[in-house]
Structure 1
């Protein structure tokens, strides 16, 4: 599809008042990149539901709050941290639910793994002393914009520690906008807050700039 066709498929978040902006389509890289660069994200499959929320939850990268316990674990190098080493496994960790169903269904796996291969989706991993994956976070990077998708932990604080390291890499690369979509207890406790959709879209337009893949700094 062309950019014009995508613009006809999605309602324009600048003028559309409802959160739901489209139903259907696919998880092709072009559609996902168009969606993220216009403040839209998928939230379910069969059919795919696309949203642009108002208000929108974000992190200010310069004002994130981590507890003393987490900072102490980071200083002690309790976990080995890696980047883009186990993207699929991180998605699997985020999708795991002992009882409840998950929104990370097969289409999400295929779509975001394709984005990962193209350099637009990234993961951060935490490994314990047995070299077992015990925590991780993944999301989508466009220009100086990062959309945090999901996080998991099999050991205490492992997920938050990967998020800390992700924030540090984003700050080193001068990212200006981190989207966390909707507030929950965890993101709120770390300093996430809500802004009007109109303000979010203005900041997004400046942050995206171009669609060059992000190269994580050493």
Structure 2
């Protein structure tokens, strides 16, 4: 780890993502800060922060990269029944701070979402870069959520939580369909999980991921205002 580049706070820079280590997979650099400018530069470059309170800031760009192309979202028969029931209501940007804190506090294995990260992503939300997606049950209780960054035609998912069965799956379907409708190219999932793969995500080489970013982070989506409710059924999936 000592041979990795150390980022200075007064120098807004990252080494190329291709220089990340193979073991641990994707570790690229240490240090720097969580300023909004640095975070935006990181995501535009295929890099994200992931660290614990007792560590310096660690920056990652794994290879391969887990992504979901919005048109490839998978809806199982049972999930379609849940969607058709209308049990969950899905909204966007209604309660960003609650979503990010629940993402931090509901993980049994602990969290990398430190207070500094909560503060920084909160600032990105105020700037219109970070967004939350919420799932509500019929009693009006927040039972699922996700947050991430929208840059160009790329959505970079950061974390999600689910307090009721299928809540996170339902919001992912709604989000993927809306991103497709708006002309987004990709949803970055960062690291593979069984849940994501079952939803249609797949792993692609980092080189392919970076090529997509170069094409899409500077292009403008069809729609940039996220403050509204989604209804189901919507587009055929």
Aligned to 1:6: 12
Aligned to 1:33: 40
In the TM superposition, what whole-angstrom CA distance separates every residue of 1:45-102 from its partner, at most 9, and x where no partner exists?
Answer: 4411001111111112111112222221212210121110011111122112464321
Query: After TM superposition, what 4+ stretches of structure 1 lie above 6 angstroms from structure 2?
Result: none
Are 1:92 and 2:86 an aligned pair?
Answer: no
Quickly say closer, same or farther: Cα 1:32–1:211, change in 2 above 3 A. Answer: farther
**Residues 153, 220 of structure 2: 8 Å contact kept:** no
Quickly say closer, same or farther: Cα 1:32–1:153, change in 2 above 3 A. Answer: same
**Residues 90, 123 of structure 1: 8 Å contact kept:** yes
TM-score, normalised by the number of residues in structure 2: 0.83
CA distance in 1 between partners of 2:36 and 2:20 (Å): 26
Aligned to 2:135: 126
CA distance in 2 between partners of 1:192 and 1:209 (Å): 23
Are 1:73 and 2:82 an aligned pair?
Answer: yes
Q: CA deviation at 1:214?
A: 3.1
Aligned to 2:147: 138
TM-score, normalised by the number of residues in structure 1: 0.90
In the TM superposition, what whole-angstrom CA distance separates every residue of 1:121-152 from its partner, at most 9, and x where no partner exists?
Answer: 11111111221101111111100001111111
CA distance in 2 between partners of 1:194 and 1:183 (Å): 7
**Residues 125, 136 of structure 1: 8 Å contact kept:** yes
**Residues 173, 217 of structure 1: 8 Å contact kept:** no
Aligned to 2:7: none
Taking only aligned residues, the RMSD between alpha carbons, in angstroms, comes to 2.0
Task: Determine helix, strand or coil for the equivalent of 1:147.
Answer: strand
Aligned to 2:224: 214
Q: CA deviation at 1:5?
A: 3.5
**Residues 93, 227 of structure 2: 8 Å contact kept:** no
Q: What is the 5 A alignment of 1:107-122?
A: 107-122=116-131
**Residues 120, 214 of structure 1: 8 Å contact kept:** no
Quickly say closer, same or farther: Cα 1:32–1:214, change in 2 above 3 A. Answer: farther
Quickly say closer, same or farther: Cα 1:189–1:5, change in 2 above 3 A. Answer: same
Q: CA deviation at 1:210?
A: 5.0
**Residues 136, 144 of structure 2: 8 Å contact kept:** yes
Q: CA deviation at 1:211?
A: 8.2
Are 1:24 and 2:31 an aligned pair?
Answer: yes
CA distance in 2 between partners of 1:80 and 1:190 (Å): 19
1:184 to 190, 193, 210: 193
